Every structure is written in C-alpha cells, then in structure tokens.
Amino acid sequence: MSYGLTRRQWLAGLAASAAPSRRRPNILLVVADDLGSADLSCYGCPDIRTPHIDSLARHGLRFTQAYANAPECTPTRTALLTGRYQQRVGGLECAIGVGDVGRYDEAIWLAERGELGLPATEPTLPRLLKRAGYATGCFGKWHLGYRPKFWPSRHGFDEWFGILGGNADYFKHTEDDGRRVLYQNDRPVECKGYLTDLIAEEAIRWLRKTRQPFFLYVAFTAPHTPIQDPDEFDPATGTAPRRQGHRPTYARMVKRMDARVGDILSELDRTGLAEETIVIFISDNGADPNGSNGLLRGRKGTLWEGGIRIPRLMRWPGVLAAGRLTEQLTMTMDLAPTLLAAVGVGATGAPRFDGLNLLPVLKGDAAPFSRTVFWRYKRGSDRRKAVRRGSWKLVVDNDRKELHDLASDELEQHDVAGEHPDLVRELEALLARWERDVEAPRLRAFRSGKA
C-alpha cells in the first residue's frame, strides 16, 4: 500500500523541481510551538501584530489548507524530520512526558526499555542534507527523546542548542519537576535570559560563522506553556509569574517570537543570503486554550480542524510568487520531500516518503490536487483517528464517529454520517487499511505480547 512517492516518482519530481541555474539554496525552517491557526495577523488575528512573520506571506506563499501530522509536539516533529507518518516509527503518537515518560501503552512499553525516542536508524532530513554537503544546525525544542542516543547530534545536526523535552520555564530553563534540560552540543549548559531570546541568539551566532549551503532548524518553545511575559522577570524568584489563560501575556510571547524571527531574517539580509534562502514558518499543531484557532472546532489534542490546522508560510525569492495563497492540502511530512527536491538532493538509501514533493504546485507549474491523508492520536485511554479524502473528513473520537464535508462545513458543525452510511464505511475501511500499513516494526514484540 502506498500513500507517498515511489522511487520513480521521486526521481521524476526531483528532476522537474530542481532549479539548475541556481546555486543550491540554504534552508531556514522555523517552528512555533502550539501557535494557533488564527494567532498571526496575516491569518486575521485582531489582537497580535506579527509584522516580521507576516513579511513571509507578503513575499511568499500563505497556505490555507496546511495540517500538522498530529495535534501534539512529538509526533508532528517526527513526521517533519522523517517525511513519513510518525506511526511508522512507533511509540511517538503523543508528546513524550516530562522526564522521559510514556503516555500510552506502546510508549510506556518503549520507555521501560529505554527506547522512547526517534531512533538514529531513521533517515532524517538533516542527515540527508548533511550527506549532500549542507551545514546543519538545530536550535530550540527537540522533544524527540531524552536519552543521548536520540539527540540532534545523532540525527545529522552539526551543532545544536535547546531543551530536550516539551517545555521549560522561560527563565529558569527547568521542567516542572525541576530538571534542567537546556543543552548545547550534548552537554548541559546554564544561561541567563528568556528562552525565546536565547534560541534566536544562538541561531544568529551560528549563521554568522557557518558556511553555505546550510540547513537551519529553529524550533521555538513559544508560545507553549508556561505563559510567561518576557518583560516580567522577578529577581526574587529568578523567573516570571505564570499566567495561564491570560491572553495579553500570551500575545506578548508571540510578539517577542515575531521580533526574534525578524532578527534572524535581518541577519540573512545583512549577509546577503536572503535571496539564496528558502524560509518556512509553521506551527507544530493547533493552539491550546491560551491561543486561538479562530472559529475552527477543537484545539490541541483533538483531530478536529482546530487541533491540526496550522499556519504555514514559505518564501523563496525568484522561485515562489510573492503574496500568493495556495489551497493545496499539505501535511507536515510533505516538508522533507519538498525541500529535498527544491535543493536537488536525492533520498538515496531512505525509505519511501509518505509526504509528497509539492514544489510543482507551489511554483505554479501544476494545479492543486485532491489527496487522502490520515491521522491517529493516542494518549492515556484516548484513541482518536481521522481520514480526509478530498473535502470529506471522517473523525472517530473514542469510538464516536462524525462525518463532515469541509467544502460546505469547514467548522465541522453538521455531522452527516447518518446521511452517508456507505461513505462512512468506505472511509473506515481506508483508515483500517492505513493503520495496518503503518504498523511499526519495532512494536512487533509489543503487539504479539512476547516481550
């Protein structure tokens, strides 16, 4: 069963997409954490101004049908780096818990064996780019494994700085259990400052010294909890108050992230690299209750549109038209094959991608097309699944089934499952077939009950 590219399709897309007259472009990939689909002014946010991030929409593409591979951090980041459904890795279908904790049966089983993380045997985007001569840097949130064998340096990054887990106090750089999780190049490090600033400054420092071509992955922790104002540092406590649910503080966190994205973009301008760099900005999933998904139903942790629809912007001067919208349905896992095709790097030795090379559509050489995509999310006893085929979307939320036609019901307000029983059965069959196809080899013993 194949939902992605065959090797022949990959090579054909690579040949059609590469720009032979240009030097291999650099790549800057910026990921926000829990930023909602309506938390940027270029997506209609009324109370947060984000001029620097918005500039990517003015000078590039703004996506209206961009989806995260999952409604939480770890699984989406797995799909981002591998270009495949995260289920193929196994055990990473929800966020890894504080201190290397598994949060559902398969993840608990892996954690007990010291295997909860993204294995270094998985081919990843940075490793493929490094093999092709790219300098690679990772700055910010990792959240793909606490143990050293899962760290960025094992996945093709030359240099890295950031936190191992899902979040940390923005000033103390500790998790909720007090564990210090800030690292630089495999060593714990202590720094003073607001985490958003530290991530940006390390990324800029790396930019100033690195050679070309480069792949720079900047994964901000903002605006993930704890909700802390960058300007409310209290010397008496060594941190800032936590203001869960306080929209003005959340807005200031987003604005600070926007300002630091602006600083990174300015560094590209200063060094004359802006015209030679592909810049992508995404969120890892929909907003939690602190953020805004606009009128979309649901939030982080759900498979309704609010949990998985995300902002996505892409700028490539001279290649992608400026100020254009694209309605092409895209998933996080599409980034790896699309970027590899854009820079003319093949995927020799890598398994087939589930993600697609969308560059022909993004360049305007091909029309947007319909596709079938899948989601599955596990946490505790929750089991959520969804399939979208064209405009039809079936959601199975803990055995409760709903069918929506997103072409006429984007807000998922009108369940029409009762009116289309044959379609429900057809989509359920597709979902079940996909689940069998993506079963992770490393979970065979778990599934058989022999370990």
Contact 161, 141 (CB under 8 A): no
- What residue spans of 344-384 are helical by DSSP H? 359-362
Spot the catalytic one: 45, 52, 73, 138.
73
- Give the C-alpha separation, 164 to 150, whole Å: 10
Residues 266 and 52: their CA atoms lie apart, in Å, by 10
**Following DSSP, what letter does each residue of 110-133 receive, concatenated?**
HHHTT--S--TTS--HHHHHHHTT
**Kind of pairing between the strands at 312-315 and 277-283:** antiparallel
**How confident is the model at residue 23, as a pLDDT?**
81
Provide the 3-class DSSP secondary structure of residue 33. Answer: coil
Across the chain, what does the average pLDDT equal? 94
Rounded percentage of the chain residues whose pLDDT exceeds 70: 94
Q: Residue 7: what pLDDT?
A: 45
pLDDT band of 351, cuts 50, 70, 90: confident
**What local confidence, expressed as pLDDT, does residue 11 receive?**
46
How many whole angstroms separate alpha carbon 121 and alpha carbon 290? 37
Is residue 24 pLDDT above 90, yes or no?
yes
**Greater model confidence, 352 or 244:** 244
Residue 197 to residue 210: CA distance in whole angstroms: 20
Termini Cα distance of the chain: 28
Binned at pLDDT 50, 70 and 90, residue 451 comes out as low
In this prediction, residues 98-112 reach a mean pLDDT of 97
Q: Which residue has the higher pLDDT, 346 or 56?
A: 56
Note the pLDDT of residue 397: 97
- Does the pLDDT at position 122 exceed 50? yes
Residue 167 confidence (pLDDT) above 60: yes
Mean pLDDT within 420-435: 98
Mean pLDDT of 34-38: 97
Whether the pLDDT of residue 12 is over 50: the answer is: no
Outline where DSSP puts E strands in 193-310: 214-219, 277-283
Is residue 358 within 8 A of residue 338, CB to CB? The reply is yes
Q: Do domains 11-16+23-369 and 374-448 have the same CATH topology?
A: no
Sheet of strand 372-379: strand arrangement? 372-379, 382-389, 392-397, 400-405
Residue 175 to residues 46, 100, 195, 239, 310, Cα–Cα distance (Å): 32, 12, 13, 13, 26
Q: Return the closest-CA partner of residue 278 out of 52, 55, 25.
A: 25
Phi, psi of 414 (to 5 degrees): -125, 100
Domain parsing of the chain, residue ranges: 11-16+23-369, 374-448
How far apart, in whole angstroms, are the C-alpha atoms of residue 30 and residue 51? 15
At 1, the pLDDT band (50, 70, 90 cuts) reads very low
Question: Three-state secondary structure along 294-320?
Answer: CCCCCCCCCCCHHHHECCEEEECCCCC
Contact of 367 with 351, CB cutoff 8 Å: no
Catalytic residue, candidates 52, 143, 155, 173: 143
Contact by Cβ (8 Å): 336, 125:
yes
Taking the model in full, what pTM does it have? 0.94
- Name the token pair of 209: 């010294």
pLDDT band at 70 (very low <50, low <70, confident <90, very high): very high
CATH number for the segment(s) 11-16+23-369: 3.40.720.10
For residue 327, give the 3-state DSSP assignment.
coil
Buried-state track 244-278, b at ≥16 Cβ within 10 A, e below 16: eeeeebbbbbbbbbbbbbbebbebbeeeebbebbb
- Comparing CA positions, the residue from 25, 57, 27, 26 lying closest to residue 42 is 57
Q: What gap in Å lies between CA 369 and CA 424, rounded to an integer? A: 22
Is it the case that residue 270 has pLDDT exceeding 60?
A: yes
- The β-bridge relationship of strands 382-389 and 392-397 is antiparallel
CA distance 387 to 365: 28
The rounded distance, in Å, linking the Cα atoms of 136 and 124 is: 12
3-state secondary structure of 373: strand
Band (349; pLDDT cuts 50, 70, 90): low
CATH architecture for the domain at 374-448: 2-Layer Sandwich (3.30)
Kindly state the average pLDDT of the residues 375-387.
98
Say yes or no to pLDDT of 2 above 90.
no
Residue, of 232 and 399, whose pLDDT is higher: 232
Handedness of CA 142, 143, 145, 148 (dihedral sign): positive
Question: Does residue 143 have an active-site annotation?
Answer: yes
